[in-house]
Amino acid sequence: MNAQAVARIRSSYELLAPRGNELMDTFYQMLFAAAPAVRAMFPKDMTKQKGHLLAAVGLVVKHASNLEALSGALMDMGERHAGYGARGEHYPVVRDTMIAALARTAGPAWNAQLAADWTAALNAVASAMLKGAERAGRKAA
């Protein structure tokens, strides 16, 4: 990810961070509407889950210039998610839902360039997590 994309991601997150709770509420509402079957993978009380995801998004922003630094942790997370029932086809739905939630929360500050930048970052996250899920599959076999 180039320096300009990193700067745009960080700048947009500075705008969104004060509305983090709204972002998480929007994301999960949209996710469960788009993929109702995944709701069963989550706890009934989503308070902690929303906090964990918001913190994870913050880490992605913090390390946007070097997402490779997160690869080990992301692989571990992907392995855990496989244990929860997450499958490869869930990742694009989650990515697209997060992009839509970011756009909705950012409002008129959102644009196609931000969508492309965030998509690239989230694709890198998903790639590392999917490697962890593959590792989980090998362990189970």
Instruction: Taking residues 52-76, report their average pLDDT.
Output: 94
Delineate the domains of the chain, giving CATH numbers in brackets.
3-140 (1.10.490.10)
User: Rounded to an integer, what distance in angstroms lies between the CA atom of residue 1 and that of residue 124?
Assistant: 10
Give, in order, the Cα–Cα distances in Å from 103 to each of 21, 66, 87, 108, 137: 15, 24, 25, 8, 34
**Residue whose pair of structure tokens reads 């997590």 in the numeric block:** 129
Q: How far apart are CA 30 and CA 35, in angstroms?
A: 8
pTM, entire model? 0.93
CB atoms within 10 A of CB 54: 17
pLDDT (tens digit per residue) in 66-92: 999 999 999 999 999 999 999 999 999
Query: Residue 141's pLDDT is what?
Result: 66
Instruction: Indicate whether 140 pLDDT > 80.
Output: no
